[in-house]
């Protein structure tokens, strides 16, 4: 018995010593005292992220669609349907199980269209919205069905295409609510910035099948995340977290962070190198259709985007009216304008430039919609009395969702009895369209580097890393895409440093060689700038390198695929 008692005391002393050593190691490694509460908080964060990821799996926009561009991802098998009346929203690629048809006539159908803000509005406020509508005399004795056709990233004319498809199938919505605006000016601009047609669906869905390297990296990333999730779930079951457990768990968590960060960086580089937009721009006739090659300058874009948005809304209003329903179009609020009205700071992740340039145009065209008889309202003025509305530039907090719902109900109530006429888009928008093009200047040049890796001067470079512009060429080619409003003579100068030994460079414009250079100096600079005739439309300037740091003899001290590093790239109009 004494031996057992002595052994227990000895074990206890060893555990206490190990606990003390673990606490000391924790302080030395992380610079502060060990706190079990912080570990519990981190575990809760990991588990919450895991739950959110599962909840979002069905709502993520990811599958290509022949009419709509893309629809929600849903891996569930689709059961065979015996009749059209059995088709549900999820079988069309949207979320929820709302049936498109109800032969009984005992229900009415509400359709929500728009992007992510409209999607979350439909998800969060479905019951309250239907309850309000069910009190309308027109729907007495009938219950409401809500068909959510909004998805993150959607923008006109996707809403128009979806509505026209539903009507062609025989769906007869009683109420259509279109809540949009932000994507039409900000996401459409992203297409334009990478040389694509702004009114095509969001450019990132136009990707091809993943490469073997991407699949390998995704597998490694999934392994790291799933391992961390399993460890967090195991630790959450423990009644206490001594430093003996918390220190190695925290160390492993930090290690996992580093590893996932490295993998995500590799995924980003791989994605840029295989970007289908850049490849098609450099090699027209590829497997991806990017839309017509219409030249649109930044100064023109806001009005063109607003005009396209307004025309789509007019057509939607006319179609819904012809089908016997009511159409309501609401301009969603955006953080910069709302914050300015309240004198508050901007939220995070807010591309305020596209809002500040795009929303005034949307407001002008929205006023034209209302004047033409379309049920239209800008919801922002009814929301400025509410604090803490936004979590980012356009998505709202719970308080913001309540304010958005109140503004929407007020809009529906005051316009419910209006009788919109049949509206001709050209007549309604005649006073606002045909804005003259702005004169060309160096600031009109848009650079979309592929693989996103050149330093630019006098060009607005689209792609940036967290620490500044990419400089290093990883791969055989770097490309700059320049959409021009008219033919221009442009002066090109560039410099590179630390090229691989024996490195050669060929510069091409739209596939035609401009010059070949031997990079035989550690610091190469073009002695005499090239004056090049760029054409109207999209111009693709390619820098092709003869060799990269790959293969069994590669230098392990520099990045794999390394070719050279740009020190400058200048493109300026030649003064006439």
Residue 164 has pLDDT above 70, yes or no: yes
Confidence bin at 176 (pLDDT 50/70/90): very high
Cβ–Cβ under 8 Å, residues 390 and 338: yes
Give the C-alpha separation, 154 to 70, whole Å.
9
Give the C-alpha separation, 492 to 526, whole Å.
9
Q: Which residues of 265-301 are buried (b: 16+ CB within 10 A; e: fewer)?
A: ebbebbbbbbbbbbbbbbeeeeeeebeeeeebbbbbb
Residue 250 has pLDDT above 90, yes or no: no
pLDDT in tens, 7-31: 666 656 666 766 677 677 777 777 7
Residue 411 has pLDDT above 90, yes or no: yes
pLDDT in tens, 265-306: 676 666 555 554 444 444 444 455 666 666 676 667 888 889
Give the C-alpha separation, 463 to 468, whole Å.
9
Element (H, E) at 357: helix 352-372
Selection from 63-77, 171-185, 210-224 with the highest mean pLDDT: 171-185
Instruction: Give Dmax over CA atoms of the chain in angstroms.
Output: 103
Weakest mean pLDDT among 21-30, 353-362, 438-447: 438-447
Which residue has better confidence, 521 or 240? 521
φ, ψ for residue 235 (rounded to 5)? -65, -30
Cβ–Cβ under 8 Å, residues 449 and 470: yes
Cβ–Cβ under 8 Å, residues 341 and 191: no
Tokens representing 2 are: 């004494």
Closest to 574 in 3D by CA, of 437, 440, 438: 440
Give the C-alpha separation, 190 to 204, whole Å.
10
Q: How many CA atoms lie within 13 A of 494 on its CB side?
A: 26
Selection from 127-136, 258-267, 421-430, 432-441 with the highest mean pLDDT: 127-136
Tokens representing 484 are: 């021009």
Closest to 178 in 3D by CA, of 331, 301, 334, 381: 331
Selection from 36-50, 158-172, 209-223, 444-458 with the highest mean pLDDT: 158-172
Give the C-alpha separation, 440 to 331, whole Å.
32
Confidence (pLDDT) at 165: 95
pLDDT in tens, 375-393: 999 888 777 667 777 777 7
**pTM, full prediction:** 0.58
Which residue has better confidence, 71 or 148? 148
φ, ψ for residue 531 (rounded to 5)? -105, 115
Confidence (pLDDT) at 194: 59
Q: Which residues of 58-79 are buried (b: 16+ CB within 10 A; e: fewer)?
A: ebebeeebeebbbbbebeeeee
Cβ–Cβ under 8 Å, residues 334 and 349: no
Confidence (pLDDT) at 464: 32
Give the C-alpha separation, 451 to 186, whole Å.
23
- Per-residue pLDDT averaged across 519-529, rounded? 85
Percent of the chain scored above 70 by pLDDT?
Answer: 68
Which residue has better confidence, 373 or 2? 373
pLDDT in tens, 44-87: 776 666 554 554 443 345 677 888 888 876 655 555 555 666 67
Selection from 161-165, 199-203, 345-349 with the highest mean pLDDT: 161-165
Weakest mean pLDDT among 109-113, 136-140, 177-181, 351-355: 351-355
For residue 513, CA distances in Å to 140, 491, 505 come to 72, 16, 11
For β-strands 460-461 and 523-525, DSSP reports them as unpaired
Which residue has better confidence, 453 or 49? 49
For β-strands 175-180 and 107-114, DSSP reports them as parallel
Weakest mean pLDDT among 57-71, 247-261, 561-575: 57-71
Confidence (pLDDT) at 1: 66
Confidence bin at 543 (pLDDT 50/70/90): confident
Give the C-alpha separation, 179 to 408, whole Å.
9
Confidence bin at 405 (pLDDT 50/70/90): very high
Tokens representing 154 are: 């959607």
User: For the structural domain made of 61-204+298-428, what CATH number should be given?
Assistant: 3.40.50.1110
Closest to 184 in 3D by CA, of 300, 308, 297, 290: 308
Confidence bin at 147 (pLDDT 50/70/90): very high
Which residue has better confidence, 234 or 482? 234
Chain mean position to CA 318: 30
Tokens representing 65 are: 């669609």
Mean pLDDT of the chain: 75
Cβ–Cβ under 8 Å, residues 312 and 365: no
Cβ–Cβ under 8 Å, residues 450 and 495: no
CATH class of the domain comprising 442-573:
mainly beta
Helix (H, G, I), strand (E, B) or coil at 138: helix
| Contacts for 29-37: CB closer than 8 Å, 24+ residues apart | 29/247, 29/251, 30/250, 34/243, 34/246, 34/247, 36/240, 36/241, 36/242, 36/246
Q: How many CA atoms lie within 13 A of 326 on its CB side?
A: 19
Residue 462 has pLDDT above 50, yes or no: no
- Phi-psi map region of 276: left, alpha, beta (phi>0 left; psi -120 to 50 alpha): alpha
Give the C-alpha separation, 415 to 328, whole Å.
8
Q: What Rg, from alpha-carbon coordinates, does the chain have?
A: 29
DSSP string, 291-308: -------HHHHHHHHHHH
Which residue has better confidence, 373 or 486? 373
Give the length of the chain: 576
Element (H, E) at 7: helix 2-30
For residue 274, CA distances in Å to 469, 477, 481, 539 come to 19, 12, 16, 19
Cβ–Cβ under 8 Å, residues 380 and 338: yes
Residue 505 has pLDDT above 50, yes or no: yes
| Contacts for 463-466: CB closer than 8 Å, 24+ residues apart | 463/272
Confidence (pLDDT) at 60: 40
Chain mean position to CA 60: 11
Confidence (pLDDT) at 223: 79
| Contacts for 88-92: CB closer than 8 Å, 24+ residues apart | 89/147, 89/148, 89/149, 92/149
Confidence bin at 437 (pLDDT 50/70/90): very low
Residue 145 has pLDDT above 90, yes or no: yes
Chain mean position to CA 360: 22
Element (H, E) at 410: helix 398-415
Closest to 107 in 3D by CA, of 139, 137, 81, 152: 139
Give the C-alpha separation, 157 to 316, whole Å.
10
């Amino acid at each position: 018995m004494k031996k057992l008692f002595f052994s227990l005391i000895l074990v206890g002393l060893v555990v206490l010593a190990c606990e003390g050593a673990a606490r000391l190691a924790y302080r030395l490694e992380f610079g502060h005292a060990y706190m079990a509460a912080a570990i519990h908080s981190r575990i809760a964060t990991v588990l919450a992220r895991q739950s959110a990821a599962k909840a979002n799996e069905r709502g993520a926009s990811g599958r290509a669609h022949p009419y709509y561009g893309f629809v929600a991802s849903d891996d569930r098998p689709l059961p065979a349907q015996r009749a059209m009346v059995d088709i549900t929203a999820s079988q069309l690629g949207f979320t929820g199980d709302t049936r498109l048809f109800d032969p009984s006539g005992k229900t009415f159908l509400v359709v929500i269209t728009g992007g992510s803000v409209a999607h979350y509005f439909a998800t969060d406020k479905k019951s309250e919205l239907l309850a309000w509508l069910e009190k309308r005399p027109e729907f007495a004795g009938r219950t409401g069905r809500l068909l959510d056709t909004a998805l993150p990233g959607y923008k006109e004319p996707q809403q128009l295409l979806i509505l026209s498809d539903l009507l062609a199938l025989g769906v007869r919505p009683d109420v259509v609510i279109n809540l949009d605006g932000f994507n039409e000016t900000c996401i459409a601009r992203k297409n334009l910035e990478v040389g694509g047609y702004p009114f095509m669906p969001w450019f990132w869905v136009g990707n091809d099948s993943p490469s073997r390297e991407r699949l390998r990296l995704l597998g490694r990333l999934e392994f790291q995340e799933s391992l961390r999730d399993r460890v967090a779930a195991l630790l959450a079951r423990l009644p206490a977290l001594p430093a003996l457990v918390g220190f190695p768990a925290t160390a492993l968590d930090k290690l996992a962070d580093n590893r996932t960060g490295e993998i995500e960086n590799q995924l980003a580089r791989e994605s840029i190198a295989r970007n289908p937009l850049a490849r098609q721009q450099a090699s027209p006739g590829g497997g991806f259709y990017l839309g017509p090659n219409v030249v649109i300058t930044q100064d023109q874009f806001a009005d063109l985007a607003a005009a396209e948005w307004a025309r789509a809304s007019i057509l939607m209003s006319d179609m819904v009216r012809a089908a016997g329903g009511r159409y309501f179009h609401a301009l969603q609020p955006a953080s910069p304008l709302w914050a300015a009205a309240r004198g508050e700071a901007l939220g995070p992740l807010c591309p305020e430039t596209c809002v500040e340039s795009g929303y005034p145009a949307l407001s002008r065209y929205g006023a034209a919609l209302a004047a033409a008889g379309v049920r239209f309202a800008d919801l922002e003025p009814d929301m400025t009395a509410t604090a803490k509305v936004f979590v980012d530039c356009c998505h709202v907090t719970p308080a913001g969702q309540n304010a958005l719902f109140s503004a929407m109900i007020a809009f529906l109530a005051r316009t419910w009895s209006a009788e919109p006429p049949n509206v001709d888009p050209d007549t309604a928008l005649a006073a606002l369209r045909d804005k003259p093009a702005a004169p060309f200047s160096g600031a009109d040049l848009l650079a979309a580097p592929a693989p996103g890796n050149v330093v630019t001067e006098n060009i607005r470079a689209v792609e940036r890393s967290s620490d500044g512009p990419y400089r290093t060429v990883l791969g055989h080619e770097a490309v700059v895409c320049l959409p021009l409003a008219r033919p221009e003579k442009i002066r090109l100068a560039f410099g590179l440093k630390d090229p691989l030994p024996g490195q050669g460079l060929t510069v091409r414009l739209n596939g035609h060689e401009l010059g070949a250079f031997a990079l035989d100096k550690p610091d190469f600079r073009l002695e005499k700038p090239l004056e090049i005739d760029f054409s109207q439309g999209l111009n693709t300037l390619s820098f092709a390198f003869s060799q990269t740091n790959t293969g069994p003899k590669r230098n392990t001290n520099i990045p794999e695929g390394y070719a050279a590093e740009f020190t400058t790239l200048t493109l300026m109009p030649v003064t006439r």
